[in-house]
Structure 1
Amino acid sequence: MANKVAIITDSTINLPDGAFEEYNIQSVPLIIQWDGKSYIDQIELTTKEFYERLATSKTLPSTSQPSISAFVEVYQPLIDQGYDIITLPLSAGISGTFLSASAAAGQFPIGRIEVLDVKSVSVGLGIIVMKVARAAKAGASLQECREIALDVASRVKIYFSVETLENLRKGGRINTAAAFLGTALDMKPILEFRGGLIEAKERVRTSKKAHARLLELTEEIAGPQGELEMVGFVSAAAQPAMEELRQAAHERFTIKEEFSGELSPVLGTHVGIGTVGIAFLA
């Protein structure tokens, strides 16, 4: 009989309310550095505190991956309890978290810990983790969980709009050429998370048009009045805009399951206040 599978992720993920507890999902936090002090993401600096401070701060924080030992500390008791482990961190294309998780896994017996780069983030990563967590709870093996993660990851799309590309440019998360996309006439950039990287998609003249365009892009994949198996909505201190997007999505699509949340402080650092996004599995 296969071992039970435990799921590990990181603090940049968004999940439905209660999912961590229901599926015993564990999260390893990233680190935020701000004005000479380090904070553990969402533990020493909550999402609410972060956005309140960011709104008036003259400085932009920086972020760093968890240490190898932070993953070892989570892995060890689970291995001791007989679990196999699947670790699903945010994309290796924008963070070294995958490398820390992989290095930690190397300290345990081969075949007990699978660290996968599913090239996703936030609510997109949340969709993948939910599908894997449900399979694990139903008795799926580590190999079966791996196959599910890769299959779902290949079908999840993420689109988002930002108020400015300045944060992404400063943080090195988007190339300089792409950063020019949003400079002319205060155009609002629309971005896609593709292949594990943030890619500039296009630009429109207002935030309202940008948010409408997110749904048009979704429709290009799902079709008019298409069915969306799972949808995640997310914002960076822009809940009214996110709620408008959510309501408009319900008018446009048949949504089987949904959840929403605020971008973690680590991700909020890089995209800035006002960001609104959608991830979906069609």
Structure 2
Amino acid sequence: MSRVAVVTDSTAYLPRELMERLHIHFVPLQLIWGDETYRDGIDITPEAFYTRLPHSKTMPTTSQPSPAAFRVVYEDLLHKGNDILSIHISSKLSGTIDSATQARQAFPDAAIEVIDSLSTSMGMGFAVLEAARAAEQGATLAECKTIAEKALANSRVFFLVRTLEFLHRGGRIGGAQAFVGTALNLKPILELRDGRIEALDRVRTWNKALDRLVEIYAEAVAGRKPLRIAVLHANAEEEAQRLMERVKSIFNVNDIRETTIVPVSPVIGAHTGPGCVGLTFTAGM
């Protein structure tokens, strides 16, 4: 029986030690900044990105990986005798899944499954981790796919941005378009739902918006367990730490299986802007 190799993309931005331990492979999206192109998570780190962003006269744009980039990864893994499960950022936010699908077609006889996560960051990342853990235990490609799909079906992603400017400019604003043009001091609370960004609420101050974010998150969890919890942040690590402690305090410790704090990748940060924080979970895994 072939071993299953799990592939994702750089927007998952999983902790590097977990990726190495579970043999997870990733294909980077691209950040285009003036005349320079960076591979997300390889040529530019979140720290470098958020340090440069406030002082830049030009704003970065983003691009999906090419089918050729996926073919290189797939060919290497197939050559080593692996089946492949490839899990990627929502098709409603990026064309990455199209590139993966095109690459898949170059190997018509190979065991490759491509999943549109309809999510990103740790909303997708938990599914990647669960599939990779199953693969480590000898699960088949079909079993790993089922596990990933279950994790995705039981995950939700909520986030709070300082401004809608970056989402609006990047064309990723989705249902949050309704909030554009409202009072500038209102802080929008958003959800990644069915692969698109949707507006949930808007609150006048940042601290009250954080309170509301936690309240919405707690309501969404609604007794579901066991929980895997992630806090996401775009150059707001101290705030993310405080948010994690706050969230952990409202749940029974025995109901929490895993927690992690993850920086938002530069490609995602180009659309959320600095200061964004988010909460995600997957339950029942």
Work out whether 1:197 is the aligned partner of 2:186: no
Mean Cα displacement is larger for which, 157-166 or 50-59?
50-59
Map of 1:88 onto structure 2: 87
Q: Which residue of 2 aligns with 1:260?
A: 261
Rounded to whole Å, the distance in 1 between the matches of 2:174 and 2:149 is 27
Q: Gapped runs of 5+ residues in structure 2?
A: none
Cα-Cα RMSD? 1.6
Superposition pairs for residues 227-242 of structure 1, below 5 Å?
227-242=225-240
Q: How many residues align?
A: 280
- The correspondence of residues 151-166 of structure 1 with structure 2, limited to 5 A, is 151-166=150-165
**One-letter amino acid of the counterpart of residue 249, structure 1:** V
Specify the SS of the correspondent of 1:101. helix
Q: 1:223 Cα deviation (Å)?
A: 2.8
CA offsets, 1:82-139, max 9 Å, x none?
Answer: 1100000111110001000110011013451101102110011111111111111111
User: CA separation in 2, counterparts of 1:220 and 1:256?
Assistant: 19
Partner of 1:3: 2
- Note if 1:245 corresponds to 2:243: yes
Q: Deviations over 1:155-202 (max 9, x none)?
A: 101000000001000000014872535731410000000001111111
Aligned to 2:59: 60
Q: Residue 22 of structure 1: CA displacement? A: 0.8
- The residue aligned with 2:275 is 274
Q: Output the CA distance in 2 between the equivalents of 1:217 and 1:11.
A: 28
Confirm or deny: 8 A CA contact 2:174 2:196 kept in the other structure: no
Conservation of the 8 A alpha-carbon contact between 1:157 and 1:193: yes
**Paired residues of 1:212 and 1:245 also in contact (CA < 8 A):** no
Percent identity of equivalent pairs: 44
Using the TM superposition, name which of 132-141 and 40-49 deviates more. 40-49
TM-score normalised according to structure 1 size: 0.94
Q: 1:182 touches 1:188 (CA, 8 Å); kept in 2?
A: no
Q: Which amino acid aligns with 1:28?
A: V
Q: Is the 8 A contact 1:131 1:148 kept in 2?
A: yes
Structure 1 unaligned residues grouped into runs of 5+: none
Structure-1 residue corresponding to 2:119: 120
In structure 2, give the amino acid aligned to 1:82.
G
1:218-229 to 2 correspondence within 5 Å?
Answer: 218-223=217-222, 227-229=225-227
Task: Quote the offset at 1:59 in angstroms.
Answer: 2.1
Q: Using the alignment, how far apart are the partners of 2:101 and 2:182 within structure 1?
A: 38
